[in-house]
């Protein structure tokens, strides 16, 4: 017999909804077709709470909380959309654009990029924040894949999928603050990695053009991360 499930009722954007106590605000919102923008979140991976796009207002709390990691609670009153939240979300996306060298017109992921989509959805027509134009390396040493730091947003989806789903933990992050960078093993060229299984999951979950498959044109570089919920579910049913 499975443990009893605690069910709670709450309000999201004024709508009465129900949820299991182990669900996040984002889970319950998507069940109810309430859209909250996300970037570092990906169904099937552990919550990370780092991009701050899914911040929501909760009545009684003076702090904004990320919907992807905050569990629902009885009587909670959540606001997912307000002028203030929209302003902050726009700034997050702008900060990301200004951080590295995101030039959509020459990007292999143009048209299939989650950062680009976010900018469109949030109505960002230009970037008010000065571009930083850092000089960043590019790793094309792997037979099949490329890692372009210029287009990385440090969402760590690749790091998490490699560790949690593939179990290889080839990818991780080094450095601090603005100097953070996704690395292969102990900062080695991808092509010489002994741990990479060449499964390609990292490429499939990458929201931007930072991780791409070689030999694909702009129109073909469609990311497909729908395998993830399936894999997680199947693994869960095995254990």
Partner 1 sequence: MTAEELETIAQEEREACGRKKHHLHVCMAAGCLSSCSDRVKDALEAQVKAAGLEEHCQVKPVGCMGLCAAGPLVSVADQNVMYKEVTPDDAADIVGALKTQQPVQRLHCRMDVPFFARQKKIVLENCGVIDPERIEEYIAAGGYTALHQALTSMNTAEVIAEVSRSGLRGRGGAGYPTGLKWSMVAKAGGATKYVICNADEGDPGAFMDRSVLESDPHRVLEGMAIAAYAVGASRGYIYVRAEYPLAVKRLKIAIRQAEKQGLLGHNIFGTPLSFEIDIRLGAGAYVCGEETALIASIEGERGQPRPRPPFPAESGLWGAPTLINNVETFANIPPIIRQGGQWYAAIGTEKSKGTKTFALAGKVNNTGLIEVPMGITLREIIYDMGGGIPDGKKFKAVQTGGPSGGCIPEQFLDMPVDYDSLVKVGSIMGSGGMIIMDETSSMVDVARYFMEFCMTESCGKCVPCRVGTVQMHDLLTKIIDRKATVRDLALLEELCDMVRNTSLCGLGQNAPNAVLSTLRYFRNEYDELLVEDDAEPALADAGAKENAS
Identify the residue among 98, 140, 199, 231 touching partner 1 (CB under 8 A).
98
* Residue 110 or 141 having the CB closest to partner 1: 110
CB of 143 to partner 1, least distance (A): 29
Q: Is the dihedral of CA 69, 71, 72, 78 positive or negative?
A: negative
With 0-12 / 13-18 / 19 or more C-beta atoms within 10 angstroms meaning exposed / middle / buried, residue 128 is exposed
DSSP 187-239: T--GGG-SS-----HHHHH-SSSSEEETT--GGG-----THHHHHHHHHHHH-
Q: Which is nearer to partner 1, 136 or 178 (CB)?
A: 178
In this chain, which of 86, 121, 129, 219 binds partner 1, going by CB under 8 A? 129
Q: Is 88 in the site for partner 1 (CB under 8 A)?
A: yes
- H or E element that contains 98: helix 83-99
Is residue 113 a contact point for partner 1 (CB under 8 A)? no
Provide the greatest CA pair distance for the chain. 58
Q: Is there binding between residue 20 and partner 1 (CB under 8 A)?
A: no
Least distance to partner 1 from the beta carbon of 123, Å? 12
Q: Is position 33 an interface residue for partner 1 (rule: CB under 8 A)? A: no
Q: Which of 26, 37, 76, 97 binds partner 1 (CB under 8 A)?
A: 97
Burial class (CB in 10 A: 0-12, 13-18, 19+), 161: buried
What span, in angstroms and rounded, lies between the C-alpha atoms of 160 and 171?
A: 8
CB 207 within 8 A of CB 215: no
CB of 84 to partner 1, least distance (A): 8
CA-derived radius of gyration, the chain? 19
One of 21, 86, 103, 219 touching partner 1 (CB under 8 A): 103
Q: Does 125 bind partner 1 (CB under 8 A)?
A: yes
What does the block give as tokens for 196?
A: 């990479």
Asked whether position 51 contacts partner 1 by CB under 8 A, the answer is yes
121 binds partner 1 (CB under 8 A): no
According to CB under 8 A, which one of 70, 109, 150, 208 is a site residue for partner 1?
70
* Chain residues that interact with partner 1, rule: CB under 8 A: 47, 49-52, 55, 64-66, 69-71, 87-88, 91-92, 95-99, 102-105, 119, 124-132, 153-154, 172-173, 175-180
């Amino acid at each position: 017999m499975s443990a009893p499930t605690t069910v709670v009722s709450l309000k999201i954007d004024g709508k009465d909804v129900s949820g299991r106590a182990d669900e996040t605000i984002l889970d319950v919102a998507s069940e109810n077709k309430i859209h909250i923008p996300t970037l570092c979140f990906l169904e099937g991976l552990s919550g990370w709470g780092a991009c701050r796009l899914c911040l929501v207002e909760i009545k009684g709390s003076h702090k904004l909380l990320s919907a992807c990691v905050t569990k629902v609670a009885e009587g909670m009153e959540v606001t997912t959309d307000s002028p203030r939240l929209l302003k902050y979300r726009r700034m997050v996306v702008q900060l990301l654009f200004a951080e590295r060298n995101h030039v959509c017109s020459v990007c292999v992921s143009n048209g299939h990029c989650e950062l680009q989509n976010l900018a469109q959805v949030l109505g960002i027509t230009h970037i008010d924040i000065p571009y930083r134009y850092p000089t960043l390396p590019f790793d094309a040493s792997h037979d099949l894949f490329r890692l372009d730091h210029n287009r990385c947003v440090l969402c760590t989806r690749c790091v998490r999928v490699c560790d949690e789903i593939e179990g290889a933990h080839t990818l991780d992050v080094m450095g601090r603050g603005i100097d953070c960078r996704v690395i292969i093993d102990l900062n080695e060229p991808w092509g010489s990695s002994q741990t990479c299984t060449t499964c390609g999951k990292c490429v499939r979950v990458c929201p931007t053009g930072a991780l791409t498959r070689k030999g694909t044109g702009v129109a073909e570089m469609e990311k497909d991360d729908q395998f993830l919920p399936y894999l997680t579910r199947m693994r869960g049913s095995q254990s």
